Amino acid sequence: MNNTDLNELIEQEAVENPFLICESSKKDYNSFGTNQIVDKLDFRQEIFRQLAFYSMTEDEKNVATILIYNITNEGYLDHDVINQLRESYSYSFCVSVINRLKQTEYGHYFSFNFQDKMKNILQKLGQYTRAHEQMLMRILKEGRICNYKNENYQRVKNDIKNALRFISPQSTSENLILPVDLIAQHDTDSMKVEVEDNISEVKIDNDLYNEMKIKIRTNIEKKYIEEKNKSVKLLLKAVCYRNSTLLRVAKEILYHQSGFFYTNSDLVPLSASTIASNLDIHESTVHRAVANKTIATPCGTFELKKLLAKRVNISDWNEKVSDFSVKQYIKQLIKQEPPHSPYSDENIVYFLSTRGIVISRRTVAKYRKSMNFPNSIHRLKNYKITEYK
């Protein structure tokens, strides 16, 4: 379980078990320095990492940096900053940098209003049409998703609800702590990892247990007391084992992926079986440990399982690259494609082969969909809609 689910389980058990003392151990993050928190969890580092795949001039980098660090706490671009930038750069130049930033995974933060933000997300999902625009306008007018007679209503409603999941009103707030399970920090030549201590502390109420043992009158009471006491002990043991295993797996993963965090290189291919073999545990234990877990690092917050990068064969030399690297190549190609002539999956297969990476069209399509890029036909349609507007 991740920390959130584990806390829910502990709180539910505390309601049903009189011998379980559950104390919330949520930190008072206001007592920490703001910079310390931002360094751990700030999404801005991930934007810079993604921009590294583009060729940008120094002026473009400077403007991009200013824009990235001046997003409002509500998740929008600051108009005042744009006005200040226009004293040194032309409006069209600023717009071109903003459009480049909108192409990143966090592009919806570089919008001036809710409608623009939703449009950016829906376009990335390949789901922005005139019907979506009309519903967004109705939402702004009515303050809710309104019912109206339209054959596409349910589909459009579901698309917008899905897009809303990408928006967190406080996601740029400097004192916001994302729901992470592990925190990793640089420590000389290695990464120091610890389980985030937002898990409720579990204790056994031995005084109550001893008191109730004295008052036992029937076998049913005795059985109830022993079962509840055993249940608490099992929960304590399970939480300790879970934290210990999670730490061991995370440390091993970060050891193998140290280049990614220290030298900004690609993730190396790494399988669960390799981790399991090194730690002398079962492979299924590794899969359970990384499932639904997040780790906050100086380079951003990641799903732990995504650091287990799959191997992709390279044809021209006896090496392998990770699927993470291949996805980045595909993302780079799509971002830099001619708008009027988007690359098909077959085109992408060819471009990858020139790098020595030979994969099938089906694999390219799978990777493209996993990054929420629509196919070339929908990308062309989206561009024409945007150009028309």
pLDDT single digits (tens) 19-41: 888 776 544 333 222 223 233 33
Contact 343, 334 (CB under 8 A): yes
Residues 6+ apart with CB under 8 A from 123: 382, 386
Query: DSSP states of 196-249 as a string?
Result: -S-SPEEEE-HHHHHHHHHT--SHHHHHHHHHHHHHHHHHHHHHHHHHHHHHHH
pLDDT of residue 257: 82
Q: At what angle do helices 130-142 and 114-124 cross, to 10 degrees?
A: 150
For the record, the structure tokens of 380 come out as 């062309």
Measured between alpha carbons, how far is 41 from 166 in angstroms, rounded to an integer?
Answer: 17
Per-residue confidence band for 249, with pLDDT thresholds at 50, 70 and 90: very high
Partners of 201 in beta bridges: 23
For the record, the structure tokens of 199 come out as 């898990």
pLDDT of residue 166: 60
pLDDT single digits (tens) 257-291: 887 777 766 677 788 888 999 999 999 999 988 88
Q: What share of the chain is helix, strand, coil (3-state, %, to 5)?
A: 55, 10, 35
- Please report, to the nearest 10 degrees, the dihedral formed by the alpha carbons of residues 372, 376, 378, 383 taken in order: 100
The yes-or-no verdict on residue 255 having pLDDT over 80 is: yes
Contact 267, 257 (CB under 8 A): yes
pLDDT single digits (tens) 311-362: 665 544 435 567 777 887 888 888 888 888 889 999 999 888 887 788 888 8
N-to-C CA span, the chain: 46
Contact 114, 140 (CB under 8 A): yes
The yes-or-no verdict on residue 386 having pLDDT over 80 is: no
Full-prediction pTM beyond 0.75? Answer: no
More confident residue, 187 or 210: 210
Per-residue confidence band for 164, with pLDDT thresholds at 50, 70 and 90: low
Which percentage of the chain shows pLDDT scores above 70? 76
